[in-house]
Amino acid sequence: MRKHLLLLAAGAAISMSLFAQTPAWQPAPGHTTLALWPNGAPGAPTNAAPEVDTTTAKDNLVAGKPVIRLGNVAAPTLTLYAAKGTNTGAAVVVFPGGGYRILAIDLEGTEVCDWLNSAGVNCVLVKYRVPDSGPYPKSSAALQDAQRALGMVRSHAAEWHIDPQRVGVLGFSAGAHLAAALSTHFDQRLYEPTDAADQLSCRPDFAVIVYPGYLAIAEQSFAPNADIHVTEKTPPSFVLQAEDDPVHVENATVYFQALKNAKVPAELHVYANGGHGYGLRRTELPVTQWPRLVETWLRTIRMLPAAH
């Protein structure tokens, strides 16, 4: 009887634990979602607060619509949004922004996948750990998640009908910093290998950097971030920001100059107006037409087939 009660208690504890860890956001049905870390993320706390949508009625609307601001992500995942119609074989791993505090999971995540899918591109949305998970090296958690995600995508390339040599990254704000960090920290994993996916390269084949932060240090007269060391091995990059961005347009211009100095193929777009955090929700501002520029650039660097 006592053994039976202990088993019931253990089962109840597990159920409560799983209930507490129920994600506050999950993708729509029909998409493949995988845990990044089958045995738990490196250094993850055992008593993490439950995942939560932190959005309130006081938060700013973007293009007249609210944004899902996902917080307390302790169990990171990746979700495959397979290309619709013609599959070009290209894939983009997407890192939403949110200052390494939250993830703008719809504005800079699912909506981005909808656009990429319409262009025949497979999208892999990464729900990486927040808060206090970056910028690297202040914390290595988000960069560990990013490295792991790239390896996992390549390990599933055949199954997901993806060309493993055309896997890029796209990030916004803090997620753009994460894309740049991965573009410059791919030679060595920041964690002990988990499985065969960690034996594959986590270098992106291209990077799209949209209104980045943390790439130029305002307190040092916008000097380049020394922890984002661009070399000739850094992948071709597309960089975009608005001049009136309160996060400072120098993040884009300084990073572009570093790419140019290292002879990395790069394209820079700076718009007069746009601010920060617009995602790809279309407004009257020209900056919100940036997805077309990215499609053209991807064809230019031959990651997508030429337009007919």
Through-space distance between the first and last CA atoms of the chain, rounded to whole angstroms = 73
- Under DSSP, is residue 168 helix (H, G, I), strand (E, B) or coil? strand
72-101 confidence digits (pLDDT tens): 999 999 999 999 889 999 999 999 999 999
- CATH code for 27-300? 3.40.50.1820
Nearest to residue 291, comparing CAs of 155, 121, 41, 147? 121
Retrieve residue 51's tokens: 């995942």
Cα(110)–Cα(280) distance, rounded to whole angstroms? 11
Mean pLDDT to the nearest integer, 297-307: 94
Residue 308, pLDDT score: 63
Retrieve residue 81's tokens: 């949004």
Residue 45, pLDDT score: 80
Within the chain, residue ranges assigned H as helices are 2-20, 111-118, 141-155, 157-160, 174-184, 250-261, 290-300
- Give the phi and the psi of residue 16 in degrees, each rounded to 5: -65, -40
SS3 content of the chain, % helix, strand, coil (to 5): 30, 20, 50
> Does pLDDT of 294 surpass 70?
yes
pLDDT tier at 10 (50, 70, 90 boundaries)?
A: very low
Q: What does pLDDT average to over the chain?
A: 92
Q: Per-domain residue ranges for the chain?
A: 27-300
In DSSP terms, 268 is beta-bridged to 239
